[in-house]
Each structure stands twice: as C-alpha cells, then as structure tokens.
Amino acid sequence: MNVGLIGCGAIGSLLYDLLGRYAPGVRVQVVYERTESRERARKALGTGTGTRIVDSVDDLLDGELDLVVECAGHEALRNLGPSVLAAGHDLLVASVGALADPVLETLLIDAATAKGARLRIPSGALGGLDALGAAKFAGLREVRYESHKAPDAWRGTPAEALVALDDIMRPTAFYEGTARDAARLFPQNANVAAAVALAGIGFDQTKVVLNADPLATGNAHRIKAQGDFGEIDIAVSGKTLPSNPKTSMLAPHSLVRAIVDLTRTLVVA
C-alpha cells in the first residue's frame, strides 16, 4: 500500500515512525509540508528513506497512492482535502474538528462522492465509536461527551478568556455547548468531540463539556449516551504526546490502526 502524508509535525513524524514499525507492507511514498518546514521534515524522516518531500498539491498527488493521511491541522484539510478526494484518493483525517464547518463537510463529501473516494474518520483518542454508531441504528436519542485536560493543555485557546488557568484548584468546566461550537472554538482540543458527533447524532445534537483539571495526568474522555438500545458509558484516560499536551498519545496510534486495517484480511471493526 502506498500512502501520502500531509504534515510532518508531532503527529505526522510519529505516524511515519509507527508505520515503519508496525506496518511493513505500507510505504510512505510522499510527504507534503509547507515550503518553510521542508527542512524540518527531512530531519524528521532521516536519510535514505526514498520518501519524497513536496510543497505542492500537484506533486503530492503525482503518484500511485492508495491513501492520503491528513495530520497537519484544519487549514491544511481545508486547502488540500478537496483536491485529494477529487483526484480519487481516499483521505484519512486527523483534524476531524474541521468538519464542524458544514461548508467544508459538504465540499469534502461531494468531492469524494464524485470520484468514488472515501473520507475516513479515525477513532482518535477515544474508544466506543463503534458502539455509538451501532446505537444510532438501534435508537440513539442523547449523547454527551466530556473532556478533562490539564490547564496547560488549554493555553493558547479561548479557555484563557473563560477561566483563570493559573488559579484553578479543582476540575472546572469552562465550556458547555454543542459539538459544533466546541470544534470551532477549540480546534486543537475537540477533534474527539467531532468524531463522537459524526459517529452518533450529529454536531448540533451532541452535548459537550470541556474541563480544565489540575488533577489530570493526561487527557480524559467520556461518552455517555442513551436511547432505545439502552445506555453507553465509556471512559478513556490517556497519556499525552510529550511534544504536544493538547494531543493524546492514542491519536496517532488510531491512525496507524485505521491504515493497517486496510491491509488486513481479518478486521475487527
């Protein structure tokens, strides 16, 4: 399987290494990076890999790719995603929160539909999206997603204007609203909320609570849902990437799983 990566930052470079370790049948053929970041990408990939590093979408798509993986942020998905799908390539998306923009979501889906490509959403840092998706068919009425992260994980976000991060002594909810607004306001922190919304009852019906928690030792996520099928209560407490406290360690590993599953005969969905 030939794969192209969009982005070679904290997630992209780790994904590259993980694929080399766990997916010997997967070849990263090309990596897209901005012109000013290409040298950083070269250092991250090392020498003698045979992987091309490019800074134009035409060069990215100039090859026989089975899958393109976006791991460069919302702007990259907006700028490159439609072109990738319009070229007929499946696209695996790390920046799931960008789909809270209904215009972008429609643009991506229309581009994929026109060429028979697939827009793939990984489970990210949270499990249970399979159960949530099944519950949607069995009668799903209410979904609530709650996140607990250390105060430092919320720096550089609108949370700084909503709560005094330096003074928090106990878990403090600073946002309660819809998954759509959470993904729009906290693009680096609410990708899980977006994935929950897409798996379940949608961006506008999914309730989200975000907490700054001085007791958190990682990123804690919880889904509570109910409907005709019964109830779901799933919690994950995960460690963060050392290079980025906003991102859970499971996020890049979920990309690996999604890619490896495409090469397996037996797949646990």
SS3 131: helix
CA neighbor of 196 nearest in space, from 185, 206, 205, 209: 206
Query: What is the amino acid identity at position 205?
Result: Q
Q: Cα 167 from chain centroid?
A: 30
Residue 80 CB burial class (10 angstroms; 0-12, 13-18, ≥19) = buried
At residue 161, φ and ψ (nearest 5 deg) are -90, -10
Residue 231, beta-bridge partner list: 226
The whole-angstrom separation of Cα 74 and Cα 175 is 21
Query: What is the amino acid identity at position 262?
Result: L
Q: Say how many residues make up the chain.
A: 269
Long-range contacts of 236-239, Cβ-Cβ distance < 8 Å, separation of 24 or more = 236/125, 236/126, 236/127, 238/125
Contact 168, 230 (CB under 8 A): no
Active site residue 221: yes
The whole-angstrom separation of Cα 242 and Cα 185 is 24
The whole-angstrom separation of Cα 105 and Cα 23 is 30
Structure tokens at 80: 């490159």
Largest interatomic CA distance in the chain? 56
Catalytic residues: 221
